[in-house]
Amino acid sequence: MFSKLKKDIAVIRERDAAARSNVEVFFLYNSIKAVRAYRRAHWCFEHKMLFLARYISQRCVRKTGIEIHPGATIGEGLFIDHGVGVVIGETTIIGNNCTLYQGVTLGGTGKEHGKRHPTLGNNVMVGAGAKVLGPITIGDNTRIAAGAVVLDDIPADCTAVGVPARVVKIGGIRVDDLDQIHIPDPVSQELCRLEGEIQKLKTKIDSIKNEE
């Protein structure tokens, strides 16, 4: 137990420049509280003590703002930075040394049974507010940008951005035909089209008035 606690503290000290001491991390960081509560809840879940497992889980939500279903499978070295609003679904699988930022959802897309939540490989980083939905797989060493909505599998060693998310880098090399910055804004295009239609109608109305 103490060896795991030491590893949990070391993970936070390594990845968070604001962590000043082990004592601060142990008493004040939501990440370590949520991970420790998850382990207790997961043990209860595996031993069919389902009510107690959910009780521990929901008590942790009220304390930290982080909701991890007791049925989720989480590897070593998980770091949840800040953490408020993080949701991890029941059939989620998270590999080793992953990092999740605030507002991340690893969720399902409906009421289907069986595997309905994502699988994250090792060393995956999911940015603030990103949503990874459905029984999809995110490969090792992949980075999901803040605010992205991921609905399909993402290969290993990639960077994915956007809504819906698309791969923009593979192995650190940019994918030229998937430019996420210099693309048309569909909302802006539609507004321009409507503005043009309104201008045509105004012109027709003015011409009818002039004829009268």
pLDDT digits (tens, 9 = 90+) for 121-180: 999 999 999 999 999 999 999 999 999 999 999 999 999 998 888 888 888 777 654 444
Residue type for position 204: K
pLDDT at 183: 44
Name the residue with tokens 């980075």.
Answer: 143
Question: Looking at residues 49-75, what average pLDDT do you find?
Answer: 96
Superfamily (CATH) of domain 2-181: Hexapeptide repeat proteins (2.160.10.10)
Tokens of 128: 């603030």
User: Omega of the bond prior to 164 within 30 degrees of 0, cis?
Assistant: yes
User: Could you tell me the two tokens for 207?
Assistant: 């011409």
Distance CA 54, CA 126 (A): 25
Domain ranges of the chain: 2-181, 184-212
Strand ranges across the sheet with 105-107: 67-68, 87-88, 105-107, 131-133, 149-150
Average pLDDT over residues 180-187: 49
- Among the listed residues 167, 163, 189, the one whose alpha carbon sits nearest the alpha carbon of residue 176: 167
Query: Contact 66/86 with Cβ under 8 angstroms?
Result: yes
pLDDT value of residue 181:
43
